[in-house]
Structure 1
Amino acid sequence: MTAHEPAGDPAPVRSPGELFDLTGQVAIVTGASSGLGRRFGRVLHASGAHVVLAARREDRLVDLAAELNGLPGNARAVAQACDVSDEVATRALVDRAVAEFGTVDVVVNNAGVGDGKRAIDETNDRVRAMLEVNLVGLFTLSRQAATVMLANGEGSIINIASVLGLVASAPVQQAAYCAAKGGVVNLTRQLGAEWGRKGVRVNAIAPGWFHSEMTAETMFDDPAAMDFVLRETPMGRAGEADELDGALLFLASGASRFVTGITLPVDGGWTAR
């Protein structure tokens, strides 16, 4: 035994399959009707988790749940219409997860809205609406799910922030969105610190430029905007659909059991500039 090796037998080395296994876990994913949220639901289900898919567009959720339930394995998927800015709806979402599967182990706060507008032209109503979905709704669902997790003594909450919560968006004009996502980053720190001793981990992923319904028109369908992204991203490209999978599974699983309060950028080096 070296001077730096702790006494006793070392922990067994787990296979990658065991390390990231979510079999029997129960995960809620908001904003699951399209884009990144739809992908997150598929990835968690593929790792063995039962998934409660939430969004406003219930018809898309029903189709995704049917797709996942048709796959081999014991993991199930259910659809729940939910507007995360509605506190009654988010409570019903948590209640549905508990009613269907008995608990909540993982929450992915992915629902969000955002568009570009000059700060000088913003209205308080628009700013409030963005904060209600991107920050207040996320906080509400986190608190409600945490009541279950804290009682169990364990759980993982994963907030989908943005690189625009870490750095300015200029020359892209998204002041309200930056403010909301910056709030998500610091809320993640605070909740991670508050609940860490009680077994509930709270972390965030900060994606860079990934294709989604929200970014399609404002970025990916605009040649000048894409030229900006490709020029300014150190890796010289936007993110691929599967390049958030590893970060999601790391934070959802026991692989990150000593990690809380952090925001993990997955951005091709955007925030390293």
Structure 2
Amino acid sequence: MAVLDRFRLDGQTAIVTGGNRGIGRAIAQALAEAGADVVVANRSEESGRVAAEEIADSTDAETLAVPVDVADESSVEAMVEATLDEFGGVDVLVNNAGIVVHEGIEDMTLAEWNSVVQTNLTGVFLCSKYAGAPMVAGDGGAIVSVSSMSAFVANYPQRQVAYNASKGGVESFTRQLASEWAEHDVRVNTVAPGYIRTDNTDQADAIDPDIDEVWKSEMLMDDIAPPEDVAPTVVYLASDAARYVTGASVVVDGGYTVR
């Protein structure tokens, strides 16, 4: 097989949570361009439908929009059932849905903490449990969770302990699940982006308009990258090009964590 053919996902079905915008939208587009049929799963039914239609129109992929709250077990179970009804299986799961609260711990409420942890970590557990079940029962598959460089470093100057704790949990969860599901030919990995131009970075910009310059001063590459710079790594981890990669984290951060 030619090397580029190993990146193809023809005949596979991929679920992307938070696939309607930002990093998730770029990932859903990239997976479709690589040949996968794509389920765009997110809270907003309308924006998910629009994203799914745009992806279908620009590729040869079949797409499906499914509303989901990744922190709600019945909602996640219904998302997977809708995927199985439409496509007959699940080959790739991308756990991308996530939120951040920029608040110091001294002012953070328990509700804010719970909201971040339930979306970013419990959501990864629930989606992996239900979307991974047909992989375990079938011919295997690939789970790629969008973690963050924040799992490995302390961010500055913003305050976001809940976010960092949740992403650290995603990394540990991934390594353990990779160990448990290797016997079922299910590979489990993470991609850990740095500062990517999304709604989350825009929130921080709104608090401190100079924050971009602070971030870039700590990076090797003087750039806040677009979501499209993360998506190819996810395609790699989802594909046979990464058939010997599991329990790994690929950091895509412009060199921030080097310093």
In the TM superposition, residue 220 of structure 1 has moved relative to its aligned partner by 7.5
In the TM superposition, residue 201 of structure 1 has moved relative to its aligned partner by 0.5
> Which residue, 34, 57, 75 being the options, matches 1:47?
34
Alpha-carbon deviations, 1:21-60, whole Å to 9, x = none? 0011000000012111111111111111000100011111
Q: What SS class does the counterpart of residue 70 from structure 1 fall into?
A: helix
Structure with higher Rg: it is 1
2:101 aligned with 1:98: no
Q: What SS class does the counterpart of residue 53 from structure 1 fall into?
A: strand
> Which residue, 16, 19, 22 being the options, matches 1:32?
19
Letter matched to residue 14 of structure 1: A
Q: In terms of mean alpha carbon deviation, does 123-132 or 83-92 score higher?
A: 123-132
> d(CA) in 1 for partners of 2:31 and 2:158?
32
Alpha-carbon deviations, 1:115-147, whole Å to 9, x = none? 211122122221111111000011111011111
In the TM superposition, residue 223 of structure 1 has moved relative to its aligned partner by 3.4
2:46 aligned with 1:59: yes
Alpha-carbon deviations, 1:200-241, whole Å to 9, x = none? 011001000001112213138843101111111111221233
> Which residue, 119, 124, 129 being the options, matches 2:110?
124
Name the count of aligned residue pairs.
259
In the TM superposition, residue 64 of structure 1 has moved relative to its aligned partner by 1.5
Aligned to 1:173: 159
Q: In terms of mean alpha carbon deviation, does 249-258 or 117-126 score higher?
A: 117-126
Aligned to 1:107: 93
Is the contact made by 1:115 and 1:218 (CA closer than 8 Å) also made in structure 2?
A: no
Aligned to 1:86: 72
Q: Structure 2 vs 1, CA of residues 180 and 48 (structure 1 numbering), >3 Å: closer, same or farther? A: same
Q: Which runs of 5+ in 2 are unaligned?
A: none
Letter matched to residue 218 of structure 1: A
Q: What SS class does the counterpart of residue 119 from structure 1 fall into?
A: coil
Letter matched to residue 211 of structure 2: A
Aligned to 2:123: 137
In the TM superposition, residue 69 of structure 1 has moved relative to its aligned partner by 2.4
> d(CA) in 2 for partners of 1:107 and 1:72?
20
2:244 aligned with 1:258: yes
Moved over 4 A (4+): none
So what's the TM-score if we normalise by structure 2? 0.96
> d(CA) in 1 for partners of 2:80 and 2:165?
27
> d(CA) in 2 for partners of 1:222 and 1:174?
14
> d(CA) in 2 for partners of 1:72 and 1:234?
35
Higher relative contact order (CA 8 A, sep 6+): 2
Q: Percent identity?
A: 37
> d(CA) in 2 for partners of 1:45 and 1:191?
26
Q: What SS class does the counterpart of residue 58 from structure 2 fall into?
A: coil
Letter matched to residue 42 of structure 2: A
Aligned to 2:182: 196
> Which residue, 129, 140, 143 being the options, matches 1:157?
143
> d(CA) in 2 for partners of 1:169 and 1:222?
14
In the TM superposition, residue 72 of structure 1 has moved relative to its aligned partner by 5.0
> d(CA) in 2 for partners of 1:37 and 1:68?
12
Is the contact made by 1:33 and 1:58 (CA closer than 8 Å) also made in structure 2?
A: no
Letter matched to residue 15 of structure 2: I
Aligned to 1:15: 3
CA RMSD of aligned residues (A): 1.4
2:231 aligned with 1:231: no
Q: Structure 2 vs 1, CA of residues 40 and 182 (structure 1 numbering), >3 Å: closer, same or farther? A: same
So what's the TM-score if we normalise by structure 1? 0.91
Letter matched to residue 234 of structure 2: L
